[in-house]
A and B are shown apart, each in its own frame.
Chain A
Amino acid sequence: MSRPTARHGVGLSVFQRRPEVTGGLIGLVVVYAFFAYLGGSVFMQAPGWSSFLSVAAEVGIIALPVGLLMIAGELDISVGAILPAASLTTAVISGHYDLPTYMGIAGGLAVGVIVGYVNGLLVSRTKIPSLIITVGTMFGTMGLTLGLTIMIAGSTGVFMTPDPISKALLGQFIGGMFRVTMVWWVLFIVVVFYILHISPWGNWIFAVGGDPESARNAGIPTRRVTVGLYMLSGFAAAFVGVSQVITFQSAQVAAGQSFIFNSIMCVVIGGVLLTGGAGSVIGIVIGTLTFSIVNQGIFFSGLDPNYGSIIIGVLLLAAVLSNDTFRNIALRYGSKKS
């Protein structure tokens, strides 16, 4: 009552309603300034940007659906196995068997969607935590990939030569430096932003993560939401795998492990609530950029690369703590108004 109404301006309420974005932006600016200072002009110019943006694009494409899953209250560890499984599928189809590239791409993406579907079914039909289930499907996918690759190709690495159109669409370096994956990342951002914040399905995702029982009672098809989200994250991981094999023209069984933790890190730094029910696409994008700047900036800074891990750890804790604080402010907003 004592507060003048003018204080309820747009700036204030956006700050209060999107707490993770505000905190995240501050973190992003601080981290960029820090590495710009240490890394100097090289980091601030094209080489620096291309290095952290290509990391951001790859991990970002996976972090978006992993973030949606976390908002819905689930984890997906299997992305780390889907990625190499998809690259190898593409390489085996189009390289080893020499079939057209588009068939390889379709095969690789299908692997991701199928593993995602299996994840979704298992998570929504059983009461086993999704962490355990997706660790299981990760090992299953990894074992199958390794076994089948050796059986078919006789080695753990397979080569392929993509056709020019596929190369231009998925494996090109724009200006000789910027990977085309960045453009795809932007497309993924637009689509996932639409799903979460504009379409009615976004409401279902928040509701499922906020209180699954109430969501089901409200008539939301919670199982379909879960299965759909796992298929999306499987697709995204496979997409990155396929784009890697098209870019580098070879696929390795061991690729992809780093994406498991990195994608979760981006999502959490981006302010998605670990227990589900809250988060935003802008937050995830900010988290991804922050993570990638630290991840690559460390090489430009001349610091011991191990410090990078420390910075990521500190950022993670700071993000979780500050999001808690901001969220409480957001919850109080309004009850004070009356």
Chain B
Amino acid sequence: MSNQTPVIELRNVDKSFGPIDVLHEISLKVNAGEVLCLLGDNGAGKSTLIKTLAGVHSPTRGQILLDGKPMRFSRPKDAQEKGIATVHQFGGTFPLMTIGRSFFAGVEPTKGIWPFKVFDRSKANQIAVKAVQDFGITRIDDGDRLVGGLSGGERQSLAIARAVHFGARVLILDEPTAALGVKQAAHVLRIVNEAKRRGLAVIFITHQVMHAMAVGDHFAVLIRGAIAADFRKGEKSREEITDLMAGGETMSDLEAQIEGYMETHDGHPPQVASQSDA
């Protein structure tokens, strides 16, 4: 579209764990104020890709560029200091800690002089609650509540608010809407849009095409660690995206397979989980 320098760019990134090659030749760009949706089946390598961006893993080959400058992260903290904030799948918050403490984990506000540094609880609580409320979660009003007492959507919102608060320029979200109900998911999507409006570059991973289409400007589909398709909003229909996400097989093929199975098995669908039928 425009000629602006992408906030973050990957050039021919490979990642292997010993003999296992997980990512091959990944090249991607994300501009400020844009959402890149990363799609793909289970095990396609989405989490591995974003962990590489977040400094959890370092790429085996290839380059990561931030504002056009090559970067090398050896620890998650390095990526964070450069403004790359990540909300990892299955994580990011601590159930048995209070909202204020969890929000500031690793970057605690202190008062007093060394060595008598004091964790500033009231300041932490106040900032945390305000940051979450600014994203529209007004139900959170007490920073002393335990994170484990929040709903899944509230926890995700807290993690996103935390990332944005600490000056992120790139926000990476690994399946933030998985396991959420319709309403809670809508809330998280609104927060993603709000982050985009504030000019962040967002990378959003999801298995739900509807969620991707609600926020995405740009889509990349990963199949077995390689980019199988890379397109912009409006260039592909919902059905086409779904087919790509199923790993190249079309949805109608899958449906035909299931129907074929049912014909040869007295109308029973294939057993997925054990069901107790009479």
Whether A associates with B in a native complex is: yes
Q: Does B110 sit within 8 A of A, measured CB to CB?
A: yes
Q: Does A330 sit within 8 A of B, measured CB to CB?
A: yes
| Cross-interface CB contact of A217 among B91, B110, B139, cutoff 8 Å | B91
Given A331-B149, A333-B145, A334-B149, A207-B106 contact (CB < 8 Å): yes
Q: Does A210 sit within 8 A of B, measured CB to CB?
A: yes
Q: Does A211 sit within 8 A of B, measured CB to CB?
A: yes
Q: Smallest distance from the beta carbon of A255 to chain B beta carbons, Å?
A: 34
- On chain A, the residues within 8 Å of B94 by CB distance are 206-207, 210-211, 214-215, 277
- Segment at the interface with B among A91-99, A181-189, A195-203, A298-306: A195-203
Q: Are A207 and B105 in contact, CB atoms less than 8 angstroms apart?
A: yes
Most buried by A among B75, B86, B106, B139: B106
Q: Does A45 sit within 8 A of B, measured CB to CB?
A: no
Q: Does A239 sit within 8 A of B, measured CB to CB?
A: no
Which interface class (under 10, 10 to 19, 20 to 34, 35 or more) fits A? 20 to 34
Q: Are B148 and A331 in contact, CB atoms less than 8 angstroms apart?
A: yes
Cα-based distance from A229 to B272 in the complex (angstroms): 47
Q: Are A210 and B96 in contact, CB atoms less than 8 angstroms apart?
A: yes
List which A243-294 residues lie within 8 A (CB) of chain B. 273, 277-278
Q: Are A217 and B88 in contact, CB atoms less than 8 angstroms apart?
A: yes
Cα-based distance from A213 to B51 in the complex (angstroms): 12
Looking at chain B's contact residues, the main secondary structure is loop
- On chain A, the residues within 8 Å of B119 by CB distance are 198-200, 202-203
Q: Are A213 and B151 in contact, CB atoms less than 8 angstroms apart?
A: no
Cα-based distance from A278 to B147 in the complex (angstroms): 13
- Residue in B closest to A276 when the chains form the complex, CB atoms: B96
- On chain A, the residues within 8 Å of B106 by CB distance are 204, 207, 215, 218-220
Interchain residue pairs with CB less than 8 A apart (18): A198-B118, A199-B110, A199-B117, A202-B119, A203-B101, A207-B94, A210-B95, A210-B96, A211-B91, A217-B88, A218-B106, A219-B75, A219-B106, A219-B107, A220-B106, A330-B149, A331-B148, A338-B139
Q: Are B146 and A206 in contact, CB atoms less than 8 angstroms apart?
A: no
- On chain A, the residues within 8 Å of B91 by CB distance are 211, 213-214, 217
Q: Are A273 and B149 in contact, CB atoms less than 8 angstroms apart?
A: no
Q: Smallest distance from the beta carbon of A92 to chain B beta carbons, Å?
A: 34
- On chain A, the residues within 8 Å of B139 by CB distance are 338
Q: Are B76 and A206 in contact, CB atoms less than 8 angstroms apart?
A: no
Query: Residues on A close to B: CB < 8 A?
Result: 13, 17, 198-200, 202-204, 206-207, 210-211, 213-220, 273, 277-278, 327, 330-335, 337-338
List which B76-96 residues lie within 8 A (CB) of chain A. 76-77, 80, 86, 88, 91-96
- Residue in B closest to A334 when the chains form the complex, CB atoms: B145
Which interface class (under 10, 10 to 19, 20 to 34, 35 or more) fits B? 35 or more
Q: Are A334 and B142 in contact, CB atoms less than 8 angstroms apart?
A: yes
- Residue in A closest to B97 when the chains form the complex, CB atoms: A206
Looking at chain A's contact residues, the main secondary structure is helix
Q: Does B150 sit within 8 A of A, measured CB to CB?
A: yes
Q: Smallest distance from the beta carbon of A128 to chain B beta carbons, Å?
A: 20
Q: Smallest distance from the beta carbon of A274 to chain B beta carbons, Å?
A: 13
- On chain B, the residues within 8 Å of A337 by CB distance are 142
- On chain A, the residues within 8 Å of B148 by CB distance are 331
- On chain A, the residues within 8 Å of B25 by CB distance are none
Bits for B117-141, please: 1 = Cβ < 8 Å to A, else 0.
1110000000000000000000100
Q: State the 10 A-B residue pairs at the shortest beta-carbon distance, nearest first.
A: A200-B108, A210-B94, A334-B145, A218-B106, A219-B77, A219-B106, A214-B91, A278-B96, A220-B106, A207-B105
Given A215-B105, A332-B149, A334-B149, A200-B117 contact (CB < 8 Å): yes
Q: Are A333 and B56 in contact, CB atoms less than 8 angstroms apart?
A: no
List which B127-183 residues lie within 8 A (CB) of chain A. 139, 142, 144-146, 148-151
Q: Does B54 sit within 8 A of A, measured CB to CB?
A: yes
Q: Are B92 and A217 in contact, CB atoms less than 8 angstroms apart?
A: yes
Cα-based distance from A217 to B57 in the complex (angstroms): 11
Q: Smallest distance from the beta carbon of B205 to chain A beta carbons, Å?
A: 15
Most buried by B among A17, A214, A217: A217
